[in-house]
A and B are shown apart, each in its own frame.
Chain A
Amino acid sequence: MAVPILKQGPFLIASIQSALTDTDLVQLRDALVGQVGSYRSRGVIVDVTALDVLDSFASRTLRDLAHMVRLRGAETVIVGIQPEVAFTMVRLGLTLEGVATALDLEEGLFYLNEKLRSTQQTTQ
């Protein structure tokens, strides 16, 4: 099942609505990394609120996604990880190192806006 990617100003939002296969995840990663370039986006939000499980493959793919997006000049935030999912991930050693996380979409947008503002200030 393909995940829709929404363009919202300078950001891209991918909201995962159901459990994804590994292939779907890789497709999502590639689509996002590609679109960051074509839309000249400054940030990416991946919303995982609907997921009850984030296994090692999913965690690694999300982490790779974030690192790839950063190399393409944008920031990534993973939002909406459920409390139980978060603790299970940590127990399995999947801590999404170096990836920004936020409580929900609103927080994620807030975080990216702050980031954007601070980079604009430093470049001015």
Chain B
Amino acid sequence: MSEVKTSKSPMSPTQASSESTASLLRELVPHLRQNRTQLRQEWARRITEAKLLTAMSADEIFTEATAVYDQYVEALETGTFEALQAYARNLSERIIPRGVETHEVVGIVLLLRDVLARSLFAKYQEDLAKLNRILDAYEPAANRIANTVAVGFVQERERIIREQQEAIRELSTPVLQVRERLLILPIIGVIDPQRARQLTEQLLRGIRTNRAKVVVIDITGVAAMDSQIANHLVQTVEASRLLGATVIVTGLSPEIAQTLVNIGVDLGKMNTVGDLQGGIEGAERLLGYKVVPIGDNTQMPKGLLPG
């Protein structure tokens, strides 16, 4: 992004008091209002040209561009950014679900800054001293606006990410009782340290409230884990034993098996079975259950007969 549009002229920037900055900016506003249609179109055209906001249609871009333009001019006029900030949040909320990226938002705001700066050049090219003063007033304000919008967008994005993480976390660790005194804990997806801690907490609490004797932890849905998490898993198994429950771990992928061997797990402490079915069968055996088919097992139920 070409930051400096003008090489600073030898006559150094006038030490404009804030009041004259404000008055200079107010002078810009009528100009920007007058050329609203043309500048807006120019901006929208450059957005399309730069292939930004591809997730949105041209009409949508133009509508949003209009709104942003008006907010922008208003922020220049009043020198207050609250309204713009609120609008940026609102806009972000609408466009984030559609996959608009941070670089696009920053890009379009910077484009608008450039489009307006160019129109200022065109207007004041006769009077270089005035152009300088105008730019001195315009550039900080424009940068601040760009900053405000970008920060608003990123904050909104982070808020959404936080919310989603929260939701996923709540859903992610069910502790289920499948038989009297038998719990299963299916784990799916990536385990980060925080989730691991939560898993352990819920499991140990579940053992206590359900008076479980055997727990089957199924990690078929976990593709890989680092040694820290593997260690945590081993610790969970041991802590469960301290509560009097036996843990059977099922569905270890080759990668996880490798990790466990690498960290040197004492396999005497870890009870592992190939798949969930085997784990539940083993657990039933430990609990003294025996599963038998009902009635004569040569007679299959009709629905299960072949052919």
Q: Give the interface size class of chain A.
A: 10 to 19
Complex contact B207–A91 (CB within 8 A): no
How would you classify the secondary structure of chain B's contact residues: helix, strand, loop or mixed? Answer: helix
The one of A79, A83, A107, A108 that contacts B239, using a Cβ cutoff of 8 Å: A83
Q: Does B241 contact A (CB under 8 A)?
A: yes
Answer whether A83 and B244 are a contact pair too, CB < 8 Å, given A91-B235, A95-B238, A103-B208: no
Interfacial chain B residues near A14, Cβ < 8 Å = none
Complex contact B242–A81 (CB within 8 A): yes
Interfacial chain B residues near A102, Cβ < 8 Å = 244
Q: Does A116 contact B (CB under 8 A)?
A: no
Interfacial chain B residues near A5, Cβ < 8 Å = none
Q: Does B55 contact A (CB under 8 A)?
A: no
Q: How far is the CA of A99 from the CA of B207 in the complex (A)?
A: 19
- Which of B66-74, B110-118, B198-206 has 4 or more CB atoms under 8 Å from chain A? B198-206
Complex contact A83–B235 (CB within 8 A): no
Q: Does B142 contact A (CB under 8 A)?
A: no
Interfacial chain B residues near A78, Cβ < 8 Å = 242
Q: What does the 1/0 interface line of A85-111 toward B look like (CB < 8 Å)?
A: 011011100011000011110011001
Complex contact B239–A90 (CB within 8 A): yes
Please provide the chain A residues from 57 to 89 with a CB less than 8 Å away from any CB of chain B in the complex.
78-79, 81, 83-84, 86-87, 89
Q: Does B245 contact A (CB under 8 A)?
A: yes
Known: A86-B239, A87-B201. 16 other contacts (CB 8 A): A83-B205, A83-B207, A83-B208, A86-B204, A86-B240, A86-B242, A87-B200, A87-B239, A90-B238, A90-B239, A96-B242, A103-B208, A103-B211, A103-B245, A107-B211, A107-B244
- Least CB separation from A87: chain B residue: B239
Q: How far is the CA of A96 from the CA of B240 in the complex (A)?
A: 12
